[in-house]
Amino acid sequence: MICKLTIAYDGTSYEGWRSQRAEHGVAHQIECAWQQCFACEAQLVSSSRTDSGVHARGLVAHSTWPNEKFSTLQIAAQLNARLPETIRIMEVEAVTDSFDARFDALGKEYRYTIWNHAAMHPLLRDRAWHVPKRLDLANMREAASALIGTHDFRSFTVKREGELGNSVRRLHRCEIVAIDHEITIILEGEGFLYKMCRAIVGTLVQLGEGKISVSEIKAMLSPNEKRPCGMIAPAQGLTLWGVIYADSHERD
């Protein structure tokens, strides 16, 4: 039997889901707690690998069931009692043996928070990007709508070792919601390139500040375009909001 975990964490103190320095990764904290609780390895497989400083509200991972005597509520309670307060198992579900948290994901939703005011709100200092200059939301929304659909997003990623490979992705949603000075950019897609969400946000903000134009952002989507994105937004404003799955893996 497979155990599906929905996990939330404050990424401020962690170097992402996994880190080369194992103890600084979120996964390591959960695996240590699992070992303490159930005297076996968790062997976690995750839906995503968030970057250093990025938060999660609904990251999903799976592992084999630790012991048949434990219920879903007991597994969550046991782990949460041993995890740091910055990490919580929000839900445990029993799913079919064929479930894979990574490969069965149909899509992901990310949300990025911007505080658009001259003074940074102290309660959002680890949750939002402080942008003091007033942003042109109309222009940002026009560009955001152009990003929806299937495009080559090679301009909206950061080069790593090796070949980039297929840089075509489908973005289902790119919505900008503003309530007073708090701006949330909602990104939903089937998959994302490395730092793609933060690249989109950073570029939209530069547009909102008048540093680039809507036509320049549209040009970045051309398969032949080699122009890099405007900038990479800081990590602390980004949260993995949720992962989308079909219902066929649920157990009765």
Which residue type occupies 231? M
207/152 Cα distance (integer angstroms): 20
User: Distances in Å between the alpha carbon of 28 and those of 43, 50, 82, 233, 249?
Assistant: 10, 14, 13, 26, 26
Which residue type occupies 29? Q
Catalytic annotation on 252?
no
Residue in 51, 104, 126, 152 annotated catalytic: 51
140/51 Cα distance (integer angstroms): 25
Closest CA to 186 of 207, 206, 171, 205: 171
State the catalytic residues: 51
